[in-house]
Amino acid sequence: MANEGMRLSEAGWTALRIREHAIMAYYNDQANNCTYGVGTLAHYGPCTLHPRDANGRRLAPVRSNGLVNRRRLETAPFRRQQGGQ
């Protein structure tokens, strides 16, 4: 992917959160794709309660440490800090 090596500055993240009104849950964006936070694409197509394959069968849950760590980093600005606030 062309933008894989690019990063957004802290000022950029702050401006994005203010302008986009971050939603810290999965939601369907204007294009009806499942989205999270400040517009991070979770997957193409609408959000579903249970992921399904092309034949409509329910998929088994899969835990990905990479995705978990990415979500932890994305939500860090919105979580309360221990001992603060």
Helices (H), the chain: 10-20, 65-75
pLDDT at residue 81, as a whole number: 66
pLDDT at residue 50, as a whole number: 67
pLDDT at residue 63, as a whole number: 58
Low pLDDT (below 70) residues in the chain: 1, 22, 49-52, 61-69, 81-85
**What beta strand segments (E) does 1-85 contain?**
23-28, 34-37, 40-43
